[in-house]
Amino acid sequence: MSAPSIVILTGAGISAESGLGTFREEGGLWAQHRIEDVATPEGFARNPQLVVDFYNARRKQAAEAVPNAAHAALARLQAEHKGQVTLVTQNVDDLHEKGGSSDVIHMHGALNSALCASCEHRWPAPLAMTVGHGCPRCGAPSARPDIVWFGEIPYHMERIERALAEADIFVAIGTSGNVYPAAGFVQMARHVGARTVEMNLDPGENVSLFDDVRSGKASDTVPVWVNEVLAQ
């Protein structure tokens, strides 16, 4: 029997045990900062320094973070389950890559990337970005964090939708199921008859749509699940 096609969606919860904050839990990032100030194009236009400082702080924290057993387990699954695993993350840190994963689909962008608001050129972001930094290609002083802000279109959606259309298994790890289109992926997977699995500390908003719900810390639940899949 050929290996099942697996689509995995991760959220902030998979990086929590590596010390990176989540958004909507008690004291989370959205309790400390207003989304409209630091995660919208309007906020960036209004006060680019506040936004650049917010992402510089997160980039520094992510640079110092170490991947945990959940990241390592997913990398092992990708390596042993050749070509049948599509790893999509809402996270902008690089812990999946540090944990050994490749071809990670960052649908909300990445802290390590800078974007030119004028010509859409992308280049590796410096640890500390500056407002008005010149684009290496067009020279315009229009560098911005390469992050998908609220009201903007997530990246790589065609590729993600193609993978979901072929999925045998869809897994959501460490995400509250609050933000679309990611929160709707489980519905798309169910539509094609995929088995759906949620691994979360607390049940997500869309938990009722999952066939298999595993509560607990990702560093415990994900390695157990990966071993089950690889034993099949």
Active site residues: 108
Q: Estimate to the nearest angstrom the gap between the alpha carbon of 204 and the chain centroid.
A: 16
At closest approach, how far in Å is the CB of 174 from ligand APR?
Answer: 4
d(C-alpha 35, C-alpha 136), whole Å? 29
| Nearest in space to 37 (alpha carbons), one of 46, 28, 29, 26 | 46
Q: Is there a binding annotation on residue 26?
A: yes
Please list every residue from 167 through 206 that binds ligand APR, using CB under 6 A.
174-176, 178-179, 200-202, 204
12 vs 226 by CB, closer to ligand APR? 12
SS3 68: coil
Is residue 113 within 8 Å of residue 93, measured between CB atoms? no
Q: Which of 25, 37, 53, 168 binds ligand APR (CB under 6 A)?
A: 25
Interface pick for ligand APR out of 20, 218, 226, 229 (rule CB under 6 A)? 218
Q: Is the distance from CB of 116 to CB of 138 less than 8 angstroms?
A: yes
CA 54 – CA 85 distance, rounded (Å): 33
Give residues 145-174 in contact with ligand APR (rule: CB under 6 A).
174
Classify strands 122-124 and 6-10 as parallel, antiparallel or unpaired. unpaired
Residue from 18, 86, 90, 196 that binds ligand APR (CB under 6 A)? 90
Token pair for 121 = 């050129």
Q: Is 205 annotated as a binding residue?
A: no
Question: In the window 102-131, what residues touch ligand APR (CB under 6 A)?
Answer: 108
Which residues make up the interface to ligand APR (CB under 6 A)?
A: 11-13, 16-17, 22-25, 28, 90, 108, 174-176, 178-179, 200-202, 204, 217-218
